[in-house]
Structure 1
Amino acid sequence: MPRSTPRCLGRLGLAALFAIAAIAIPAASAAPQVVIYRCTDASGALTVQNDEPCPAGSQQQRTVVDPPPPMPAYVPQTPPPAAPAPAPAAEPATTAAPAAPDRPDAPPPARIADADRLPPPPIFRCHTPGNDRYISESSEPQPRCVALQTVGINGDPSLAAGAACEWQYDRCERVPDGEACDGWRQRGREIESGWRYARGDAKAPLQEEFARVATILGDTTCGLPGSP
């Protein structure tokens, strides 16, 4: 076998020695052994060479390196089959919550003979100072204290030092007897409207108030067929 040309690698450690050996070894599994010579001359300079003894007058260390075993052929791994996804758990059947009623519940009408029915109580139509109108069961509703704008001593609203309000009273007039049933029906609609927009604990009192008005309409002459 022809010898390779000696190569001078300078001052190398043991790691460089085996690196050179690995480069020099053929990849085939039947490659022969490689002989590495470590040469130190009279001046102390170190050279490492393969398959070539050190020159005369040098201190020589000889190392035989076996070629590494051939790398095994790469075999791609087949991924294991994915586990089937678990079936979704069946949700327990729930009972649907009852829908909120469209209007407050009214009590069933009382069984009163038509001859025993009385006219409904008086009811009043009221007007606010702002010209709003509503139905009231009282001829003298409670007054309201409407806030007034206050100003500073120089007339500047931003320098106002206090607050003030004006008591306002609504004007009310009795609904004529022939229209009293319509007045009570309007009163029921106003209570129902307030019930729809009420929140929390405010709903229950309006529910009771609506039931009371419905009872008046059912037990008086307003409940007669064809009543005005």
Structure 2
Amino acid sequence: MIPAPRPCLLLALLALAGASQAAEVTIYRCTDAQGRLSLRDTPCARGEQQQTRAMALPRDPPPRPASAHDAVAASKPSAAAAPPPRVVVIRPPRPMYECVTPDGERYTSETGEGNPRWVPLWTLMPVVPTRNPLGDRVGARRPPPAQFRPGPPRPLPPDAGFAYPAGTWVRDECHALPQSEVCARLSDRRYELDRRYYSALQSERASIQNEQRGIDARLADDCER
């Protein structure tokens, strides 16, 4: 029984024939004395039975004319090759405030609200100057008695017990610092913590390190621009 030609051999011959510029190619079918069949593009050897067959070479179809849509699509960059958009978030620097106590002591705060303190209400009442009842306001309403005028609270009788004077909470006055001053004070605080660290107790060093890390992060975000 004559074996059929293997498809891989036929494909190899067709590929080899494709290199030629001729319109047709001749395939030689050779059978040797043992009945083995082979396909080649050259004549069979002496003593082999030869059969030939002419085959047309495959041709590529003509290129399709480019349309205006294809030209526009080719000019645009590929979506897969385009890098992803880069998003940059700019955060404004955190403010710092300087507050002043009634005694003139200054301190810094992260918010514009100063430390609260309790004050009696009489300290917030406006002082109304009184006039001589017999002067330029003769016949006018006489001023109220002294016990109803604004002034420091008078001591209560011993049997009156204990009572809180009327009052309210007020906060120290604060104002925002310029950003350059904020960075300078943060740097001063960082230097002060470095000096304290070497002389601090072991239990205090952990809190100093935590504050140093917070200052370093704020300096990197708000000052190193």
Give me the TM-score of the superposition, normalised by structure 2. Answer: 0.32
Task: Flag the structure with higher helix content.
Answer: 2
Give me the TM-score of the superposition, normalised by structure 1. Answer: 0.31
